[in-house]
């Protein structure tokens, strides 16, 4: 777990691209561990075609299928999964404390 977080921090710190003014410009990214957690725990409902039983459309229209959608919703993900533990609803998909910590670490840099 600690190794995953350290790897995540390393990836995030190297994600800046050179900017014409000499400053680093960072584009939010979704490292593989974060993407995998969100696909496993969130996107089963928050997808164009949800795979979770009895969910026929993404709740509140929130899509988390792609890295761009995850980045666009990163503050909502942080609030719902890390700060309040409201999501996954009733923790139906079994998100662990370690997975929440990985998302929290990612959200600090994005």
CA distance 85 to 83: 6
* C-alpha–C-alpha distance, residues 59 and 45, integer Å: 7
Our count of domains for the chain comes to 1
The domain of 34 spans: 2-108
- Which residues, 6 or more positions from 89, have their beta carbon under 8 angstroms from its beta carbon? 45
**Per-residue confidence (pLDDT) for residue 19, from 0 to 100:** 36
Q: Which helix (H) or strand (E) holds 26?
A: strand 24-26
Mean pLDDT of the chain: 85
Quote the pLDDT of residue 18.
Answer: 35
- Can you name the residues that pair with 25 across neighbouring β-strands? 17
Q: pLDDT per residue over 19-63, tens digit each?
A: 344 455 567 799 999 999 999 999 999 999 999 999 999 999 999
């Amino acid at each position: 777990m600690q190794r995953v977080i350290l790897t995540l921090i390393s990836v995030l710190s190297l994600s800046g691209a050179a900017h014409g003014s000499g400053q680093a410009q960072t584009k939010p990214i979704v490292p593989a561990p974060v993407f995998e957690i969100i696909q496993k725990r969130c996107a089963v409902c928050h997808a164009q075609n949800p795979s979770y039983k009895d969910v026929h459309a993404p709740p509140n229209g929130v899509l988390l299928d792609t890295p761009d959608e995850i980045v666009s919703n990163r503050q909502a993900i942080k609030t719902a999964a890390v700060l309040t533990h409201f999501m996954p609803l009733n923790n139906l998909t079994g998100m662990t404390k370690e997975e929440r910590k990985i998302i929290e670490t990612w959200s600090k840099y994005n």
